[in-house]
Structure 1
Amino acid sequence: MNTQSCCPVEIEITEAPPLSSHQETLLDMHSVLNTLNILLGELQFLELELNDWQVLQPSLNSLEQLVNALGDRSTILAYLQQIDHLRAAITGNIETALAQHPEKATTPEVQEAVANIQSVFDVVEVRVQQLLAREKAPAAWVEVPIQQLQAQFEQVFQAIEKNSKGRYRILHNIAAQEASDYFLTFDIQTPNGRTVLMPPVFEDVMRDLIANARKYTPQGGKIIAGLVQTADRLKFVVEDTGCGIPVEEIPKVVGFGYRGSNVQHRRTMGGGFGLTKAFFVTQRFQGRMWIRSAAGAGTRITLDLPMPSAVVPGTSEQGDSQG
């Protein structure tokens, strides 16, 4: 397979292999899966720092059980409704582990790992609450304060950076970027400048696509994202300077579990479903999706959703509108 850089080609994605109910559930849980994998990684790092391969096994086993249940909707929803109990149990397990290794408990590496675990748990709890709320009204469009949306994304970027253990930073000022850093921008423009009207699941899609762009972009690269809402459209674009997608594979990358031939060797913490979820969510809301890429030439993804015709932006009924 020739993976040398060539001129990027933009292709509209209009179809993908159908999903099984198991796969649909995994897509719905994708954002939770990503954060749980980060949490597993932090616990394993703490285990390594303590040099004790037994004391944190209850926590690791509980998280692995949760991850393994992600494809069964009724089981995983029952688990997620008890996420606060899981957090309490894991926090207690960590306290026990530190008490058993007092000589290591105060080292900077261990203290940072413990702080990171709690930080990631904060993100997990937000994801879970969002997911449970969507289960009640999966087709709803809601108004989200732009400031809140940007803060939640910044929390994600900080968690990704912490998980790198100092290998890189994620910066929003290009003048501060060093060779190992990522430069990332995410601009939002709406008619009132205060809120954006969108399906809540669209936040998952944007977050996953930005995270994917970072994942497949070498250090020192750039990720540029933007969201624009007009009277009749909701448009999201993310563009990176990453490894790109072989042109002949662009129509295939939305297939469940499909990874481009030029990135199959890369180990990632996610489920590899980001583009699949983006396509099926876009289709669910009668939207369109384009991918512009080539091997070695970066990738640009565009999602364009029509605003629900029954909704007039700025009215109080938006939270109950159906797409």
Structure 2
Amino acid sequence: MPGRRPFFMLVALYAISLPACLHVTSTPSTPNSAPEPATRTTAKTTSEVESNGTAAPRKDFAILPKVPGSVVSKSHGPSANATTMKPPPAPPANPPGSVLPTSGDPGAIQAAFPPLTAPPEAPLLAAVRAYTENRPDQAIEIIRKMDKNNQDFVLAVLPILMRGASADLMNDQATTAALADQLRGAVARLEPRAALKIEKFALCSKVDGFGRFVVRPPAETYRPNERVNLYLELRNLSYQITGDGFRAHARAAVEIRDANENIVSQFDSGGHRVPLVRFDKDLVTRSPLSDFYVLYGFAAPTAPGVYTITVQISDATGRRTVKSQPAEFRVAGP
């Protein structure tokens, strides 16, 4: 060791005399890591193409159509180029089922496209229009085309409507009275065809005339053989014109039942016991009768209990009939 020390000192002195810059030349080295996935995929694809003998598809981007209407093919092989898209087929000139003129003749075009026509006007509207335009004769001709059962009513009401639409009903009393008379005439035309209607039907303790009666309280009972007054008002009963005036004729049938729905016999006008009492009411007046009422009096049954009474009314022809609802009354012991 002591002999070597002079040798190291000589080497150190020689190194100090050398330049201080050292140049190192690098050589490419082979990386030890595995190739990137894309490189592996490319290599695998290349090998597969070489083994199959087919060209690998190209993955080109930013390839735009050259002209409008052209598309890029999904295949990117060597023979795949952009092709021009065919325009969609044009619709047929004429829709299916349509017939259009082949010439420019205006008559043919008008025949193919006829003008739209409004639906025919209702007879009533046409009659009202004719009356409004001061053409009553034409309005009557239009009304005659209606059903015969409606002509009389329309002929009676239409002039009233036209006059009432322009009259001063608040201040012109004469015109208002004339319209009221005409309306009553129109009602008289309808009454023979309207259904009969029972306006009021009540058991009363006192009756002095049409609309003047006193209703008997339902809780108040009758004694056996006590008189019972039945009052009813009838609407739409027509009348007949006779040499003496106006005749109103109604036919009635009265039925009484007990609590078990058994028919209770009654005395008729001849004093005979019958299960159903029938009678007529025939009135002749100098003026048309509009306040027709029927008053029927009978004796209460002798046996105590709960009873109901029903009345059926018909006109003189028998074609119109109306039946009342049962009215209940009670008979107590003597």
TM-score, L = length of structure 2: 0.23
Q: Which has the higher helix share?
A: 1
TM-score, normalization by structure 1: 0.23
- For the pair shown, the structure with the greater C-alpha radius of gyration is 2
- The answer to which structure, 1 or 2, has the higher relative contact order (CA under 8 A, 6+ apart) is 1
Hey, which of these two has a bigger chunk of strand by percent?
A: 2
